Structure 1
Amino acid sequence: MRSMQHNISPHVYVAATLGTTLAFIALFIQRGFQPDYFYAPILALAAVYGLINLVRQGKGLSDFRIDTKPDFAKLLRRALARYLVWLPIFYIAAHAYRMAPYYNSPSSQPALYFFDTLLKLYLVGGLPYFLLTLTIKSSRVEDFYDPAVRIIHMIKQTLYRIFHIDGTHSPLQVFKKRYNRKVLLNLLMRAYFIPIMVSQVYANLGQSVTFAANRFDDHSFITVLFWLMAILWLCDVINASVAYCIESRWLENRTRSIDLSITGWAVCLFCYYPLNSVTGSLFPFAYTVVNSNPGSLLVPELGFLYVVKLLEISLLALHIYIDVSLGTSVANISLKKLQTTGPYGVVRHPGTTTKLAFWLLISACYSAFWSWPIILGQLAWSALYVGRALTEELHLRQHEEYREYMEKVRYRFIPGLL
């Protein structure tokens, strides 16, 4: 299958993300952190990914083509229809976030500002965007599965059933159709995760710039490591923000399937804020014992602290590399495009392996870890993440492409063992 044979190399995704991240950190260090433009790296990385995909399209590594002889009247109707479908959705979403008490906290303000900005950009650039996209990224398959087209069909089907004379067709039947539910659940999933990711971009970008501008002058080893960790997390959340915020033909990341099971959703959501606070209240999170005090280590020496912190940043770098290597296919409880090379050519869930190893190996270096509540908490969190990987596979294995991938890469977590 094309998506397995011609996916973008993990190295390209990582290089693009790292380059974009460092460029904006350098820019904000030089000019000062500009909170009103914190979202710029997200849009810039999306543009870089779009350019990469356009180059691949020119090499025949894409299912899209350029429509060299478009019917402008038809093109305008198609673009306008998509523009008008998404306009009320964006408008309602932006205002719904503002009205929801949960999103009125200070930590959510960057996300609200981001939504308002996107809405303004869409009002001006939405129609030209669709005109250009439908011309440069033409695809009959994508036309059929286009979420905007599916939403139009849902509206038409619902209205037909409401006004049908004999009254035998319930409007609710529209939402019982599997693909219609997938479209709506995908919107719900993205609405949940976008504020989480965007707010972390703001926090980590500000932290990265602040460290360099105000605290980097002492050149202490620990300060340098904290700065590098902030940059790594920033790479992760910028890439994730692109994947969640923008599903586009330019990024070739349309959601093809989403988990419809309650179990899959529950296991996933209890790993993320705010529901992970409930999980944490039941099972202590081992990584909370990690700090920069040498006296809290099993070996209370400054040299051992340096060793632990080097191990910590090395494991974190590996984990972020694995996350970012998915590129625009990053998504929970859904399938966009499989990544089958790099770490994903070794095991099917390398991110789960590195995350659990990161938490365990670093936390175990601290004396506070070695108590039954913390150890049992670590086991519980590990079981939760393993369960998340297993429920994910229950969904993904419904697709022939993933079953082929399972035959190619036989181990989930540890090569030759698990």
Structure 2
Amino acid sequence: MALASAWLLRDWAEAAHLKTLAVLALSTAAMLAMDLLVYRVQFNPTTELAPEPIRPIDPLRLLQKLIGFWMTIGCIAALYALLPEYGNAFYQPFKDAALYLLPGLIVASPFYILHVDRRQRDPLDAYAQLPLLLTGHRPADWSMLAAHARGWLVKAFFLPLMFVYANNDLAELWSAPPLLQMDFQHVFSRLIDIFFLLDVLLAVIAYALTLRVIDSHIRSTEPTIGGWAICLICYRPFVDVQGHYIQYELDNLSWEKVLAPYPLLYALWGSAILLLVFIYVWSTATFGLRFSNLTHRGIITNGPYRWVKHPAYLAKNLSWWLIAVPFIAGAGSLTAVQSCLMLGAANLIYYLRARTEERHLSADPVYRDYQAFIARHGLFARAAGVIRLAYAKLAQ
């Protein structure tokens, strides 16, 4: 649906951010239809919502929650205004899109809050608690408000970033010739662009729709500073700082330059990169509306996750080795060793991300069961079993 809508809207004479919103809206409609009509996620017990209203309308609590919601939005807007990063022209498409959607959010928010409030098992959530702070009433337990703040900070950080990436990737797709040259180099380049476009489109939709009614709400958020740091260092603006130290393309010698004289090997190597990037995007798509960094929004055990706990990280990091070919001594052996060490450092960052995510998710018994399953039946467990069997036969 995303690619079809992007193709249909290619020549639509509107501002880029509006065309991006249209692609996102059509893609979201398809994803919601699948979740609501096929998987019927609205009836999952994890929504903690009753199928029918279990209490009458409480105007006072509705007003409290509405104030709490707009207090949250106001705090996020204040952060955008205060932090110099968001004054950068890079974020202008997101600002334009947010202002365009603001009237709709104003109209829709009371109806959504009313719908949820009448069905919640426990209606005294963080939105109901927030306005009490204005009257000087501090909660005995701050954990709910702290979790609320962490969840919204994740959303506030990633949503503008992913929207701008999607907007820019769509603009690049629309500016490219509609007809593709059928040589491997052009096919490779177009497929890579499409894969990463799909990845960020899915991310925008998922970060926007953290909604309890479709069971995509945030159950918990990474509680440690270290967990946040090791994740955010991979994204703008922090990646710019990290990039000064972890540079693994020191000889500017990519796989295309190395393998250009060998057409068959060039095609095979490029196909391997495409396969890895496809697995990376497939991993994002498997989450659907529940994709997110730093949060627990439901345990995913299907797709590539039935074989590996972190298929996206594994595929992404392997693709970097094939793309950068740091082991080719194009600028001398010392540079090759330095490049390999630097890429190993980048891999280490993702290993640490994986470990912090596992620690966070392990609070959920469903994830612990999943870990145990992968330890017994995952790809690496099966490979180790085959190796042990082969070694036993050789030893006989």
- TM-score, reference length from structure 2: 0.83
Alignment of 1:384-403 (within 5 A): 384-403=349-368
Seen in structure 2, the aligned counterparts of structure 1 residues 153 and 26 have a Cα distance that, compared at 3 Å, is: same
**Matching residue within 178, 192, 215 for 2:157:** 192
Following the alignment from structure 1 to structure 2, what is the Cα–Cα distance between the partners of residues 287 and 358? 17
1:241 aligns with 2:217: no
Per-residue CA shift, 1:310-358, capped at 9, x if unaligned? 2222211111101211112211222110111221121211112111111
Point out where structure 2 has 5 or more consecutive residues left out of the alignment: 385-396
Do the aligned partners of 2:304 and 2:311 also contact (CA within 8 Å) in 1?
Answer: yes
Aligned counterpart, 2:65: 82
Following the alignment from structure 2 to structure 1, what is the Cα–Cα distance between the partners of residues 70 and 161? 23
Residue 5 of structure 2 aligns with an amino acid whose one-letter code is: F
Do the aligned partners of 1:42 and 1:238 also contact (CA within 8 Å) in 2?
Answer: yes
**Matching residue within 212, 220, 225 for 1:257:** 220
- Using the TM superposition, give the Cα deviation of residue 219 of structure 1 relative to its aligned residue in structure 2, in angstroms: 4.7
Residue 6 of structure 2 aligns with an amino acid whose one-letter code is: I
Do the aligned partners of 2:62 and 2:113 also contact (CA within 8 Å) in 1?
Answer: yes
Residue 380 of structure 1 aligns with an amino acid whose one-letter code is: A
**Matching residue within 87, 92, 110 for 1:109:** 92
1:178 aligns with 2:160: no
Following the alignment from structure 2 to structure 1, what is the Cα–Cα distance between the partners of residues 73 and 43? 32
Seen in structure 2, the aligned counterparts of structure 1 residues 59 and 304 have a Cα distance that, compared at 3 Å, is: closer
CA RMSD of aligned residues (A): 3.2
1:380 aligns with 2:363: no
Do the aligned partners of 1:329 and 1:338 also contact (CA within 8 Å) in 2?
Answer: no
Do the aligned partners of 1:290 and 1:363 also contact (CA within 8 Å) in 2?
Answer: yes
- Using the TM superposition, give the Cα deviation of residue 62 of structure 1 relative to its aligned residue in structure 2, in angstroms: 2.0
Aligned counterpart, 1:140: 121
Aligned counterpart, 1:12: none
Seen in structure 2, the aligned counterparts of structure 1 residues 219 and 338 have a Cα distance that, compared at 3 Å, is: same
- TM-score, reference length from structure 1: 0.79
1:312 aligns with 2:273: yes
Greater Cα offset, 218-227 or 306-315: 218-227
Query: RCO higher in 1 or 2 (8 Å CA, sep ≥ 6)?
Result: 1
Alignment of 1:88-237 (within 5 A): 88-94=71-77, 96-131=79-114, 138-140=119-121, 143=123, 149-156=125-132, 159-161=135-137, 171=138, 177-213=142-178, 216=179, 218-237=181-200
- Using the TM superposition, give the Cα deviation of residue 58 of structure 1 relative to its aligned residue in structure 2, in angstroms: 5.5
Do the aligned partners of 1:150 and 1:180 also contact (CA within 8 Å) in 2?
Answer: yes
Greater Cα offset, 339-348 or 54-63: 54-63
Aligned residue pair count: 375
Do the aligned partners of 2:170 and 2:197 also contact (CA within 8 Å) in 1?
Answer: yes
- Using the TM superposition, give the Cα deviation of residue 39 of structure 1 relative to its aligned residue in structure 2, in angstroms: 2.0
Seen in structure 2, the aligned counterparts of structure 1 residues 30 and 224 have a Cα distance that, compared at 3 Å, is: farther
Residue 186 of structure 2 aligns with an amino acid whose one-letter code is: T
Following the alignment from structure 1 to structure 2, what is the Cα–Cα distance between the partners of residues 111 and 398? 35
1:333 aligns with 2:309: no
- Using the TM superposition, give the Cα deviation of residue 229 of structure 1 relative to its aligned residue in structure 2, in angstroms: 1.6
Residue 277 of structure 2 aligns with an amino acid whose one-letter code is: L
Greater Cα offset, 47-56 or 108-117: 47-56
Residue 129 of structure 2 aligns with an amino acid whose one-letter code is: H
- Using the TM superposition, give the Cα deviation of residue 264 of structure 1 relative to its aligned residue in structure 2, in angstroms: 0.7
Aligned counterpart, 1:351: 312
Greater Cα offset, 20-29 or 383-392: 20-29
Do the aligned partners of 1:232 and 1:320 also contact (CA within 8 Å) in 2?
Answer: yes
1:273 aligns with 2:232: no
Greater Cα offset, 113-122 or 254-263: 113-122
Q: What SS does the corresponding residue of 1:260 show, helix, strand or coil?
A: coil
Per-residue CA shift, 1:383-407, capped at 9, x if unaligned? 1110111111122112222222222
Following the alignment from structure 2 to structure 1, what is the Cα–Cα distance between the partners of residues 136 and 121? 26
Aligned counterpart, 1:67: 52
1:44 aligns with 2:53: no
Per-residue CA shift, 1:164-222, capped at 9, x if unaligned? xxxxxxx5x76x73332111111112111111111111011111222244xx4655432
**Matching residue within 2, 25, 28 for 2:9:** 28
Q: After TM superposition, where is structure 1 displaced by more than 6 Å over at least 4 residues in a row?
A: none
Residue 173 of structure 2 aligns with an amino acid whose one-letter code is: S
Point out where structure 1 has 5 or more consecutive residues left out of the alignment: 1-19, 162-170
Greater Cα offset, 43-52 or 352-361: 43-52
- What percent of counterpart residues are identical? 21
